[in-house]
Homo-oligomer: A and B are copies of this chain.
Amino acid sequence: MQFTSEQRLDDGVLEREFTLGEIPGTLWTPGSAAPVPLILMAHNNGLPKKDGRLVARARHTAACGYAVATIDAAGCGDRPRSAADEQIRADLRRAMQAGEPVDGIFEALVGPLVEKAAPEWLTTLDALLALPEIGGPVGYSGWTALGIRLAASEPRIEAAGFFAGGYVPLALREEARQVTVPLLVLLQWDDEGNPRQRALDLFDSFGSKEKTLHANLGGHTGTPWFELEDGCRFLDRHLK
């Protein structure tokens, strides 16, 4: 793991870019010196790690006393895409503009994205836990489809926050039954592209004994600011 840049933010959080082989990532750590728990933070459908909403969420969470890491995994963010991937994304844009059904296209897009991304997130997890400023335990936040795979298969992840506004492939909806860590699921009640009942069914599927759903009025990007604070308190209950 090589750090390639760093800047100290106003609230004392240190923001560092890194590379790990081909994987580019960003790590935010709080001003305090003691080892802190780690949050893996991913954006739905592999949106770029530099996306403003993810960065704001990461900085806030770091200021709450966590190391927060995100990467552009294979096929995600600014990483190169295969011709087949480009074709699927073009099909998706065309279908959305035409108002045609998109579930089949999302199946073809998101399933393989998770298959390729998950191993790189676990490689990154190993490297991050070797840093002296990170002490564990580990939490996860964000992209539901990837988070299901990681939380169901990686016992070092002890709590997870999922954003329900993203397509979850059928196979991963089944895999959700194997997720048993405490969960906080965020749902936007009027999310334009994501059927509410599907999100409620997914919440019902998770195998966790402690799971909480926070649903707020509004569309896909309308999550209220206070959910940032609620998210930190959820992590505090389980990781501190």
Contacts and interface: CB of A to CB of B under 8 A. Distances in A.
A164 B224 CA distance: 22
A178 interface: no
B210 A224 contact: yes
A215 interface: yes
A11 interface: no
Contacts of A214: 212-214
A237 interface: yes
A200 interface: yes
Interface residues of A, number: 20
B217 A208 contact: yes
Contacts of A194: none
Contacts of A66: none
Interface in A226-240: 226, 229-230, 233, 237
Nearest to A234: B226
A208 B217 CA distance: 9
Interface in A192-236: 200, 203-204, 208-217, 224, 226, 229-230, 233
Contact of A215 (B208, B213, B230, B233): B213
Nearest to A208: B217
Nearest to A203: B215
Nearest to A206: B217
Nearest to A183: B217
Contacts of A233: 226, 229
A180 to B, nearest CB: 12
B217 A210 contact: yes
Contacts of A189: 204, 213
Given A200-B200, A230-B230, A217 B211 contact: yes
Nearest to A216: B212
7 contacts: A189-B213, A208-B217, A212-B214, A212-B224, A213-B213, A213-B215, A213-B216
Interface of A: 189, 200, 203-204, 208-217, 224, 226, 229-230, 233, 237
The 6 closest A-B pairs by CB, nearest first: A213-B215, A211-B217, A212-B216, A214-B214, A212-B214, A226-B237
